[in-house]
Structure 1
Amino acid sequence: MVAVIVINAITIGCETSSYLVEHLGGLLHVVDRIAVAVFAVELAARLYAYRGDFFRDPWNWFDTIIVSIALIPASGPTSILRTMRILRALRLVSAISSMRNVIDALLSAIPGMLSIVGLLVLVMYVSAVLATQLFGGIAPEYFAELPTSLFTLFQVMTGEAWPDIAEKVMAQQPWAWVFFVGYILMTTFVVLNLFIAVVVNAMDDQNTSAEEQRTEDHLADIAVELARLHAKIDALQSHQTATEPTT
């Protein structure tokens, strides 16, 4: 299934080339239809195997939605769905367990990340109000209004062309470097690194949980084998007792 997903993703990408479509369009279409058929059969087989338990797994819902989109006719009002065929490549996430673990870790980190997002929004808002009041008359293209300042500070946070912005402001306000350096230290080097810390911690917890689950499964298998051996020993002892001659 991983191979089919990868091949299908490559063929969809090839269809963006007019040269390849002109020379290999028929082949690309056939490969695409075969991949859709394989996805549908595989999903039906899993549904038959798991019955009602199939929809208890969120990843099965994810696969069902992706395959359902692929089965909708890409013509008429639904033609826009043809552009969403590349979403099939996302099935690699559900097909590869290590990718699923990463997504599960990210989802488990959302509560902690929301607090950091709130802190980041607060810092950006306060900084944008200050920048609008302090630098609005100096660089109106960057700090004329609050929305403009917010966008500019978001750009500064990413590190994109912020020296040019700071240089224009510092031409009239030499002390403005204090504002920009403090803002960058607070957002880029503190708040954004908190995101990384939360995600890494969530992934570590996810790996620990997965390791504990594997250990429990292994111990359960050992317990089952021990029970089987104990049952065999009891059966042999009973058989031996039954066959011994009475005195």
Structure 2
Amino acid sequence: MQDSPSSSITSQSLQQTFLRVRSNKAFEIFVIAVIIVSALMIGAKTYELPPAVTQSIIILDWMVTGIFLMEILVRFLAEEKKSRFFLQPWNVFDTLIVVVSLIPIENSDMALIGRLIRIFRVLRMVSIIPELRLLLNSLVKALPQLGYIVALMFIIFYIYGAIGNMLFADINPVLWGDISISMLTLFRVMTFEDWTDVMYETMAVFPLSWSYYLSFLFLTAFAFLNMVIGIVVNTLEAEHAEQRAREALEHPEPTLAELKQDIAELKTLLKQR
């Protein structure tokens, strides 16, 4: 049985109404404000509060969950093709967070999981703000390339850790006792956390050991980290270009012929007046 034209028009009208609500800047700001309130409540729960305040936070938490549910429904109903809604990973993430938040597990063995899920509601800020979503998508797309850099950095850590263990284990077994401890010490050196104290300690026995630290810092803190930044920036630029291309397809610029036709129509309207 086919839908009547009137019901189809009503459905389209409702979809357009929900689309306008979803696209409304005030609605977006309201949802962001609710997410911030939700994050503040999570922080407030880490303190010892009077029972009345705790009860108020619980009630407010349910209100926030209800608003999140309403917002998900608005976004779902605003979608022209409902089947495409769950093809977007962020929509799936938001829906799972809201649905799990609706389950009353506060006084059960699953209470800890419920609280953890509510913490992840703060991540909804990323799905709401396009700029944050773009940054995170760029970082995810850069992960395969970053994986090779991490693997190469691990090789450098392993080589320098083995050398450090062989040379400096007798000087300070706490820092260079085995290769795993040596790699942890090298991580401390790479982050510049009192690395000069480590260097001066070994230089008292091996005066030229400064070359060991400087070469390691050059390879890791300077070369590799700059490579990581370069990959992330390039991926971000590519993501921006892809987004501009999508927007150009969705909102194409008028051609010269269309502009001439619009000018002719304006001239005709002016002559009629």
Question: 1:80: which partner in 2?
Answer: 112
2:168 to 135, 153, 173: 135
TM-score normalised by length of structure 2: 0.77
Say if 1:69 and 1:81, in contact at 8 Å, map to a contact too: no
Tell me what 1:53 maps to.
Answer: 84
What is aligned with 2:190?
157
What is the aligned partner in structure 1 of residue 16 from structure 2? none
Measure the CA separation in 1 of the matches of 2:51 and 2:200. Answer: 51
Unpaired runs of 5+ in structure 1? 234-247
Q: Report sequence identity in percent.
A: 30
C-alpha spacing 1:57/1:14, structure 2 compared with 1 (3 Å): same
**1:29 is matched with which residue?**
58
**Normalising to structure 1: TM-score of the pair?**
0.85
Range with bigger deviation, 199-208 or 43-52: 43-52
Task: Note the residue ranges of structure 2 that are not aligned, 5 or more in a row.
Answer: 1-30, 266-273
The code of the aligned residue for 1:175 comes to L
Alignment of 1:54-203 (within 5 A): 54-72=85-103, 73-84=105-116, 85-203=118-236
Deviates more, 1:195-204 or 1:1-10: 1-10
Give 1:22 deviation, angstroms. Answer: 4.5
Aligned partner of 2:36 in structure 1 is: 6
Residue pairs, 1:211-230, within 5 angstroms? 211-219=244-252, 222=254
The 1:54–1:82 alpha-carbon spacing in structure 2 relative to 1, beyond 3 Å, is same
- Give the Å deviation of 1:119: 1.1
1:79–1:130 CA distance, 2 compared to 1 (3 A): same
Count of equivalent residues: 227
* Aligned with 1:15 (options 39, 42, 45): 45
Aligned partners of 2:137 and 2:189: how far apart in 1? Answer: 31
Per-residue CA distance 1:204-238 (angstroms, 9 max, x = gap): 11111112222222217x47xx5xx89xx8xxxxx
Encode CA deviations 1:105-155: one digit per residue, 9 max, x unaligned: 111111211111111111111111111111111111111111111111111
What secondary structure is seen at the aligned counterpart in 1 of 2:106?
Answer: coil
SS at match of 1:17: coil
Contact kept in structure 2, 1:66 and 1:87, CA below 8 Å: yes
Partner SS state of residue 210, structure 1: helix
Q: Deviations over 1:73-106 (max 9, x none)?
A: 2232201124312211110000000000001111
Q: Which residue of 2 aligns with 1:236?
A: none
- For residues 22 and 204 of structure 1, the distance between their equivalents in structure 2, rounded to whole angstroms, comes to 51
- Runs of 4 or more, structure 1, over 6 Å off, are none
More helix by share: 1
